[in-house]
Amino acid sequence: MIRAFACLFSSLMVLMSVNSPALGQGLFGQKTDYASVYLHSGRMVEDGRRLTALRMELKPGWKTYWRNPGDAGIPPHFDWAGSTNLKAVSIEWPTPVVFDTYGSRTIGYEERMVLPLMLTPEDPAKPISIRLNFSYGLCSDICIPAQQDIAMEISPDAAEDGGYFLDRAAATAPLNAVEGGLIAHECKVEGAGEKRRFVAELSLQAPLISALVIVVEGPEGVWFGPVVTSVLNGKLIAEGPVETEAGLWIDRSLLSVTVLGPERAVSLDGCFAAG
């Protein structure tokens, strides 16, 4: 079942809460045996928001996961409970790498992961107090769950920190449909009940020789299974199973389709039928 991984993830979270040592508050970065995680205070942007950076440095041979880990893996989880003067957080995901491991396709990062975090304060004139519990997965020959607690106070006039990493992450940010050369697309959901399938046809300016990896994500209550891609008459064809909560209607305007190329990803927000 498509939702089977969600159960596995929940079990791993319980395992971490039981077996992980308590991590002290007040540290800007904390180390494990395989990865070091740091939070940079970043820079102030328009409207009093703050663009910060969560950076993970991985030991050689280890990787961590994208927001959708692929066939297996643990997606990152962010718990901001305890933070103050923090109204909203949005995460920007740089283009990940697709790994083929023992016949399974996983999606993530190796060597270094930098996630730009846009923080919106309740009051831009006051400091933002960060209390973040960050849960994630690490994988090499074995795969393990991990978690770290990070605390930081960011004043409105804090000096820029981590700008280099933010700029590097921006250079690999997914392109939108126009920037990525997506000239036409058609998406539909066929069938009913548990036999529904997602089908998409995408046309790109650059001719395709081989199929690219596509990840489809939906709103809460909608799960997409592995998407199989092929090339037909120069177009990228994608098909995969869909599962929803009972009776839930799929709003295609809320779908996110990400095409993972060798250098950059192309992100499509909303995908509709032709005409």
CATH of the domain at 131: 2.60.40.1250
pLDDT at 154 (0 to 100): 96
* Residues 18 and 61 occupy one common structural domain: yes
The gap from C-alpha 37 to its chain's centroid, in whole angstroms, comes to: 17
Whether residue 135 sits in one domain with residue 19: yes
Domain boundary among 170, 204, 227: 170
**Structural domain of residue 200, as residue ranges?**
182-269
Question: Quick one: 119 and 186 in the same domain?
Answer: no
Of 150, 170, 190, the residue that ends a domain is 170
Distance of CA 59 to the CA centre of its chain: 21
Pair 9, 119 in one domain: yes
The residues, ordered by sequence, that sit 6+ positions from 178 with a Cβ below 8 Å of its Cβ are none
31 and 90, same domain (yes or no): yes
Residue 110 tokens, joined: 């190796």
Report pLDDT for 11: 36
- Local confidence pLDDT in tens for the 275 residues of the chain: 444 443 344 334 333 332 333 333 333 455 678 999 999 999 999 889 999 999 999 999 999 999 999 988 889 999 999 999 999 999 999 999 999 877 789 999 999 999 999 999 999 999 999 999 999 999 998 888 999 999 999 999 999 999 999 999 999 999 999 999 988 889 988 887 767 899 999 998 887 767 789 999 998 888 898 899 999 888 899 999 999 887 788 888 899 999 998 888 999 998 877 65
* pLDDT at residue 30, as a whole number: 54
Let me know if residue 177 belongs to a domain.
no
Does residue 165 share a domain with residue 198? no
Quick check: is 274 in a domain? no
Whole-angstrom distance, CA of residue 174 vs CA of residue 191: 31
Residue 191 belongs to a domain with what CATH number? 2.60.40
* 154, 83 Cβ separation under 8 angstroms: no
The answer to whether residue 241 sits within a structural domain is yes
Does 34 share its domain with 114?
yes
Per-residue confidence (pLDDT) for residue 102, from 0 to 100 = 75
Domain check: are 165 and 224 in the same one? Answer: no
Between the CA of residue 138 and those of 23, 30, 73, 146, what are the distances in Å? Answer: 18, 15, 8, 7
Q: Are residues 120 and 57 in the same domain?
A: yes
The partner residues of 232 in beta bridges, in order of sequence, read 235
Residue 176, in any domain of the structure: no
142 falls within a domain: yes
Please indicate, yes or no, if residue 195 is contained in any of the structural domains: yes
- The string over 246-270, giving b where at least 16 C-beta atoms fall within 10 Å of a residue's C-beta and e elsewhere, is eeeebeeeebbbbbbbeebbbbbee
- Counted domains in the chain: 2
Statement to judge: residues 234 and 192 lie in one domain:
yes
State the pLDDT at residue 16.
37
199 and 159 assigned to the same domain: no
In Å, the largest CA–CA distance within the chain is 57
Q: Has residue 69 been placed in a domain? A: yes
* 137 and 202 both lie in a single domain: no
The answer to whether position 87 is within a domain reads: yes
Q: Classify residue 181 as left (phi > 0), alpha (psi -120 to 50) or beta.
A: left
In this structure, the number of other CB atoms found within 10 A of the CB of residue 234 comes to: 11
The residue type at 103: G
